Amino acid sequence: MGADQNYDWNQAAASTLDWWQEAGVDTAIDEEPRNWLARAAPVSAAAPVDLVVADVALPETLDGFAAWRAGPDAPEASWHGRCIVGQGDPAATLMILIDMPEREDAESGVLLSGAAGRLFDRMLAAIGRSRETVYLAAVCTTRPAAGRVAPEMEARLGELAQHHVALTAAKRVLVMGNAPSRALLGADAPHARGQLRTLNLKAGTVASTIEVVASFHPRFLLEKPAAKAEAWKDLQMLIEGLES
C-alpha cells in the first residue's frame, strides 16, 4: 500500500510550528548554507529603529477598552484576520487568558473553536464551569501570520493584557501558555506553574488585586498528553476556594 494520499501537509506543518512555539523556539535559521569558518566581513552600523508606543490613555471601562482593542489604534489593527477581544461573561469571577485565536477561530468567530477548544471545554467541565461562566480573552486579539507573538510586540501586548485583566471582575485568572504567562507573571508557563500568585494591577485609576495560576495551553496538551496530569493539578489549584 502507498502513503496516505489524504495527508494534509499544511496542517502538519502548522501543527509543528505551534509545537515549536510552545517549546520556546523563536529564532529563524537561514536555509542557505553558510561557511562558519570564514572570516566575517566588516559590517556597517545600521540605523537604530525606534519603536514608538502612542502615549494614549487607555479606556478605564471594559466595554470601552474592548472597543479600543478592536479599533485602529490597537497594535494588531493592520493585521489580516478576525479580531476577537473577549468572550463569555465579563462579570465572571474567573478569567482565562490565552495567547491568540486559533486558525479555526477566524471563521467561527469563537476563541478556541477547534480541537484545542474541545479539550478546553472538557477542562472547564471538569471544574464545574463552562464558557458561559468564565471570561475568555487572548493576548493577541488577531492571530499573527507567523502563528506566534513577535518579540518586539510582546512587551506592549503584555501591558494591554494587564490592563484588560485589571478591568474585569475576575478574582482569579488562568493563564494558558507561555505568552500570557509572560504577560502577567514574567515567566514561561512551565516555570510559573505550581503556585497561586497574587498580582496588584492598575489600569489608569482602576486598581485590582487578582490571583493567577499558570498552566499549559490546550494545544500543548494535545501534543503532550502526559502533561494533562499536571494541568489537572493546576485546575484544582485554580478552583479551590474560589467561590468562598
pLDDT in tens, 103-112: 999 899 999 9
Domain assignment present for 211:
yes
Cell, residue 216: 499549559
Tell me which residue of 68, 102, 67, 66 sits closest to 82, measured CA to CA. 102
Assign 148 a pLDDT band (cuts: 50, 70, 90).
Answer: confident
Count: domains in the chain: 1
Average pLDDT score, the chain: 84
Domain assignment present for 18:
no
Tell me which residue of 47, 45, 71 sits closest to 58, measured CA to CA. 71
Tell which phi-psi region holds residue 194, choosing left (phi > 0), alpha (psi between -120 and 50) or beta.
left
CA–CA distance, 29 with 175 (Å, rounded to integer): 30
Domain assignment present for 88:
yes
pLDDT of 29 above 50: yes
Domain assignment present for 209:
yes
CATH number reported for the structural domain that contains residue 116 in this entry: 3.40.470.10
Domain assignment present for 11:
no
Domain assignment present for 90:
yes
- Domain containing 177 equals 62-239
Assign 239 a pLDDT band (cuts: 50, 70, 90).
Answer: very high
pLDDT of residue 204: 87
Assign 6 a pLDDT band (cuts: 50, 70, 90).
Answer: low
pLDDT single digits (tens) 165-207: 999 989 999 999 999 999 999 999 999 999 999 999 988 889 9
Q: Calculate the dihedral angle through the C-alpha atoms of 186, 91, 82, 156, rounding to the nearest 10 degrees.
A: -30
pLDDT of residue 224: 96
pLDDT of residue 17: 60
pLDDT of 27 above 70: no
Domain assignment present for 184:
yes
Residue partners of 80: CB distance under 8 A and separation at least 6: 142, 145
CA-angle at 230, arms to 124 and 187, nearest 5°: 95
Domain assignment present for 168:
yes
Higher pLDDT among residues 231 and 148, named by residue = 231
pLDDT single digits (tens) 101-135: 999 998 999 999 999 999 999 999 999 999 999 99
pLDDT of 7 above 50: no
Higher pLDDT among residues 191 and 55, named by residue = 191
Q: Taking the complete model, does pTM exceed 0.75, yes or no?
A: yes
Strands 135-138 vs 197-203: parallel, antiparallel or unpaired: unpaired
